[in-house]
């Protein structure tokens, strides 16, 4: 997958998460989840975009490391929303699958950039 396609994919993921945030109820726990997951998902897209403009291989790897962490944290918050039964699993599963795929792609890219080491 090319970097431009992945930029679009990470941005689309962030937008989908923001739509989920809008669909959450107004309770205290929902607000906590909404704030956290919105920041994480947007960070995935923003940091992938920054990685594409990295000044060195080390900078690229570091920025992709942030993408991996933020995608994993987004997945965590999706699991929390599911486990707290704030939203039905079937609405969350496509986003959870996408988060897992983005994590896998990012880890693979980091390993490739490092020359297969990790």
**Helix/strand/coil for 26:** coil
Mean of pLDDT values over 93-110: 97
Per the structure, the complete domain to which residue 15 belongs is given by 3-113
CA distance 6 to 57: 18
With bands split at pLDDT 50, 70 and 90, how would you rate the model's confidence at 4? Answer: confident
What pTM did the predictor assign? 0.92
For residue 118, is it within any domain? Answer: no
What CATH number did the domain enclosing 27 receive?
Answer: 1.20.1440.60
Percent of the chain with pLDDT over 90: 88
Give the pLDDT of residue 3: 76
Cα-Cα-Cα-Cα dihedral of 40, 41, 47, 48, to 10°? 150
pLDDT score at 25: 86
End-to-end CA distance of the chain: 21
Number of domains in the chain: 1
For 28-84, how does the pLDDT look when each residue is reduced to its tens digit (9 = 90+)?
A: 889 999 999 999 999 999 999 999 999 999 999 999 999 999 999 999 999 999 999
Please tell me the distance from the alpha carbon of residue 42 to that of residue 12, in angstroms, as a whole number: 10
Residue-averaged pLDDT of the chain: 94
69 domain-assigned: yes
pLDDT of residue 117: 56
DSSP 41-102: HHHHHHHHHHHHT-SSHHHHHHHHHHHHHHHHHHHHHHHHHHHTTSS-HHHHHHHHHHHHHH
Residue 82, C-beta contacts closer than 8 angstroms, at least 6 positions apart: 89, 92, 96
26 in any annotated domain:
yes
- CB 47, CB 84: distance < 8 Å: no
């Amino acid at each position: 997958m090319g970097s431009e396609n992945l930029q679009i994919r990470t941005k689309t993921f962030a937008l989908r998460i923001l739509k989920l945030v809008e669909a959450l109820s107004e309770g205290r726990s929902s607000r906590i989840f909404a704030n956290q997951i919105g920041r994480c998902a947007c960070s995935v897209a923003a940091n992938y975009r920054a990685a594409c403009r990295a000044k060195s291989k080390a900078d690229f790897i570091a920025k992709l490391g942030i993408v991996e962490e933020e995608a994993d944290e987004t997945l965590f918050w999706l699991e929390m929303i599911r486990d707290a039964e704030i939203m039905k699993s079937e609405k969350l599963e496509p986003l959870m699958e996408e988060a897992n795929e983005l994590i896998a792609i990012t880890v693979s890219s980091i390993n490739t950039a490092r020359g297969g080491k990790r």
